[in-house]
């Protein structure tokens, strides 16, 4: 009896998981179609865009995140340079440390770390804000008054992150390269000028373009997931907390998946054109 009961419970849990996954996929598809509608409406009617709200979110998401992004970018450059010196030193090719630090930071680490930071800061804040508005029935009041909640609440957040994330990624790039320079110039026979010119030769425009394109995709993920989880939050304090936590976890997971897919896509395109 116990074995049959445990098997029955396992089947029920599996069925519930499948139904929840189906509901999540349907909700996400519906929300993505709503985002496309908002984008198209913004392109057709740019005067309807709430530029002051976008500027507010750009300040809160960008300016407030600048110190932590710069610090993490510098530390990542330092750590990567130390590890590169140790590993490449075993083969006597320490001169290629600049190549490794520059390309890896610009292509991968700077966009990824910046997006994760904003997922923890801005994604959770978006979910908590919209979840609180839902629990206090502010969203219901806006709908009753005939206001488009997507245009007033979702679109400004999305556009703000699309404008802010590439800029923060460039700052993380610069700070990471500077951090690597401090280690390389102190540990190896490199001058600042030699490191600078080596980095300029190694980092190609295509590398910077790929990193910035990734940051745009990551910005869409952070804003969309944060807003979606906030709109789906339960109407209580625990529901708001769960929505914020779910927004961070889901955003980071999707960011890593998107990074892997985009890296494979860019690598395939390079091999095709070469």
Whether 274 shows a pLDDT value over 80: the answer reads no
In terms of phi and psi (left: phi > 0; alpha: psi -120 to 50; beta: otherwise), the region of 191 is beta
Return mean pLDDT, the chain.
87
pLDDT tens digit sequence for 169-223 = 999 999 999 999 998 888 888 888 888 888 888 888 888 899 999 999 999 999 9
The pLDDT of residue 199: 86
The pTM of this model reads: 0.88
Whether 4 shows a pLDDT value over 60: the answer reads no
Q: Which has more confidence, 6 or 69?
A: 69
% residues pLDDT > 90 (the chain): 36
Q: Which of 51, 102, 96 is nearest to 73 (CA)?
A: 102
Calculate mean pLDDT across residues 245-250: 91
Strands (E) across 48-173 are located at none
3-state secondary structure 24-66: HHHHHHHHHHHHHHHHHHHHHCHHHCCHHHHHHHHHHHHHCCH
């Amino acid at each position: 009896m116990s074995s049959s009961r445990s098997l029955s419970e396992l089947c029920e849990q599996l069925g519930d998981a499948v139904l929840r996954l189906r509901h999540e996929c349907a909700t996400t598809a519906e929300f993505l179609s709503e985002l496309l509608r908002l984008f198209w409406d913004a392109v057709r009617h740019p005067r309807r865009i709430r530029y002051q709200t976008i500027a507010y979110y750009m300040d809160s998401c960008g300016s407030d995140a600048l110190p932590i992004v710069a610090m993490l970018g510098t530390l990542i450059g330092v750590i990567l340079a130390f590890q590169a010196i140790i590993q490449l030193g075993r083969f006597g090719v320490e001169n290629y440390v600049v190549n490794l630090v520059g390309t890896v930071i610009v292509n991968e680490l700077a966009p990824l770390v910046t997006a994760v930071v904003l997922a923890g800061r801005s994604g959770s804040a978006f979910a908590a804000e919209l979840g609180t508005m839902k629990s206090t029935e502010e969203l219901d009041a806006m709908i009753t008054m005939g206001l488009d909640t997507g245009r007033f609440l979702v679109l400004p957040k999305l556009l703000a992150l699309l404008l802010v994330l590439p800029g923060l990624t460039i700052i993380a790039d610069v700070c990471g390269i500077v951090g690597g320079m401090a280690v390389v110039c102190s540990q190896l026979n490199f001058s600042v000028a030699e490191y600078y010119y080596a980095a300029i030769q190694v980092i190609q425009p295509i590398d910077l373009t790929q990193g910035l394109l990734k940051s745009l995709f990551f910005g869409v993920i952070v804003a969309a997931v944060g807003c979606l989880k906030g709109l789906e939050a339960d109407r209580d304090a625990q529901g708001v907390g769960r929505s914020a936590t779910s927004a961070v976890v889901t955003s980071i997971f999707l960011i890593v998946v998107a990074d892997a897919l985009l890296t494979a896509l860019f690598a395939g395109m390079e091999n095709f054109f070469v």
